Amino acid sequence: MSNINKVKYRFPEGFWWGSAASATQTEGAADVEGKGKNIWDHWYEVEPNRFFNGVGPEKTSQFYYKYKEDIQLMKEIGHNSFRMSISWSRLIPNGVGEVNPKAVEFYNNVINEFIENGVEPFVGLFHFDMPMELQKIGGWVNREVVDAYEAYAKTCFELFGDRVKKWFTHNEPIVPVEGGYLYDFHYPNEIDFGKAVQVGYHTILSSARAIKAYKEMGQDGKIGIVLNLTPSYPRSENPADLKASVLADAFFNRSFLDPSVKGEFPQELVQILKEEGFMPVIEDGDLDIIKNNTVDILGVNYYQPRRVKAKENLPNPEAPFMPDRYFDNYVMPGRKMNPHRGWEIYEKGIYDILINLKENYGNIECFISENGMGVEGEEKFRDETGIIQDDYRIEFIQDHLKWVHKAIEEGSKAKGYHLWTFMDNWSWTNAYKNRYGFVSVNLDKDGERTIKKSGQWFKKLSENNGF
Ligand code: BG6
């Protein structure tokens, strides 16, 4: 019997229901069939102690071997779309040069399997996983890596562009900047704001160059970028707090959002970089490429808000420069938390982002490309029938979807909602600590999959196109 009359929040026809994942976090098979090493394989080799319970990226959730089963499960829980990423170091083991035929075979099989099962593959080119050979020459700090990335992107379009019609140049490009060059949670673990800026700049340039190549090759799909837009809320309306939030926004959101959508950099940020002496090296012609190659579509990842206030104390002039020389993070009393991840839950943030895109970014076509809740120790919620009763996840999704729905009613061009993530996967340095999936993965039983209650609920959500 259909629930059609009970649906209170109905979404536009053809809404994309699905989830997202990345290559390094799910494929496993990290050192087989010609795959080259990426920074995660390397970092784990040299510092396994940096990963929760010492679990590394070599096996992750075995999508490489179990993709058929996984795609069946996606279909079963109502996916009509799914975002994956290609592992650069699997496809081109040294980052440049030879293409690995086994990787071509694997990605062809995966893409075909998706299409045969009515799940549209959205494909990302870079999800935090720099090939190690390219990191050895400096990674995104080195402009040669931008050339290598463009060549890699072209290879992907040539190989898979006949079937893949939604491409994403980068996933959360601010994160490798923060993790690798400011806050020590990605390799190469440097603290160097100058490099951070160069990395950010080269990433943006690489995105624009991939978009340019895509158009020049006459590809007929859409190409975009996925950004983690973390709205900056001031502690108060006091002008000093407001200024702090404008600057935090320029550093962490507009740094990538403005060039990606408008083809230009936020003036507030440029001014600070000039004043502080951190302007990146820009070559002739770069800014035109960035100006003329903006995205067709924007993926929005939303997990948490950023709350800021004016600085309480003068910064230490001897300390390495950090963006928070201009603001302090603010802990709002009474905030709602996901204690496992240490992130605030603020559902309205997702609406604020969509309305901001509508009002200030030409109402660009977009979708929620990640949103989700990582929970530690989910096994304790498994009932006698073997199903994890993750009602908290269902509630989390519903509470966010209500705001997405409202934004759409008010004119936002949000086209879909993808949860992070389909099945429990390897969350970088958190490894398998927090579980995010619709489907649980039992690491003690060769990665056995079991659909959680949220997965069953998602099926109905997708069938009814609302709830
Ligand atoms: C996003 C990433 O930052 O959030 C994912 O695109 C990541 O790769 C997800 O796994 C959840 O964050 P975390 O740090 O808990 O894995």
Tell me: the pLDDT tens digits for 205-222? 999 999 999 999 999 999
Dist. CA 421 → ligand 1 center (Å): 9
- Residue from 168, 423, 436, 441 to probe ligand 1 pocket by mutation (most atoms less than 8 Å from CB): 436
264 catalytic, yes or no? no
Class of domain 16-464: alpha beta
3 has a pLDDT exceeding 80: no
Round to whole Å and give the CA distance between 137 and 17.
Answer: 40
Ligand 1 atom 2: residue of nearest CA: 172
pLDDT band for position 75 (50/70/90)?
Answer: very high
225 has a pLDDT exceeding 50: yes
Q: What is the mean pLDDT of the chain?
A: 98
- The active-site residue out of 133, 178, 347, 370 is 370
- Residue from 39, 172, 427, 429 to probe ligand 1 pocket by mutation (most atoms less than 8 Å from CB): 427
- What pLDDT does 4 receive? 53
Dist. CA 403 → ligand 1 center (Å): 22
172 catalytic, yes or no? yes
- What pLDDT does 6 receive? 87
Tell me: the pLDDT tens digits for 116-166? 999 999 999 999 999 999 999 999 999 999 999 999 999 999 999 999 999
185 has a pLDDT exceeding 80: yes
- Domain ranges for the chain: 16-464
